[in-house]
Amino acid sequence: MYHIGDEVMNNDTQIVKGILEGCILKIVENEEIYGYKAVEKLNILGFEVNEATVYPILTRLQNKEYLNIDKRPSPYGPMRKYYSLTEAGKKSLQEFRDTWDRIKNIVNKVMKGDENDKKK
């Protein structure tokens, strides 16, 4: 399950996976990041996700070649993967932005229409 704010969403829904993937790409675009830090960032933004949710998404993005990997030892000892965006990742992020804007506008229109209907 993913928690977004107070809402709980089933993790099987492709839409949630897509949203999280887009948000992770955006976070990585802003700064080079490692797995645990990505979870922290998402938590601060309001996604109540844990490592078990974020790590497979990072791996999937890495396998799709949207993320570059740089390995350096962490302060605690084990090797740590630092993720940065590839050109393909930047393109995918742009596609996500466009899709998100379009869907957001459509959904807002639908919701406003619904509110107007209620007022009538």
76 binds another protein (CB under 8 A): yes
Q: Which stretch binds another protein (CB under 8 A): 19-27, 46-54, 89-97, 109-117?
A: 46-54
Q: How far is CA 94 from CA 12, 23, 39, 67, 85, in A?
A: 24, 11, 22, 14, 12
56 binds another protein (CB under 8 A): yes
Among 29, 31, 32, 59, binds another protein (CB under 8 A): 59
Question: 81 near 34, Cβ under 8 Å?
Answer: yes
36 binds another protein (CB under 8 A): yes
51 binds another protein (CB under 8 A): yes
Per DSSP, the three-state class of 88 is helix
Considering the complex, state which of residue 21 and residue 93 has its C-beta at the smaller distance from another protein: 21
Rounded to the nearest 10 degrees, what angle do helices 35-45 and 51-63 cross at?
120
Considering the complex, state which of residue 69 and residue 111 has its C-beta at the smaller distance from another protein: 69
What does the binding site for another protein look like in residue numbers (CB under 8 A)?
34-36, 50-53, 55-57, 59-60, 63-64, 74, 76-81
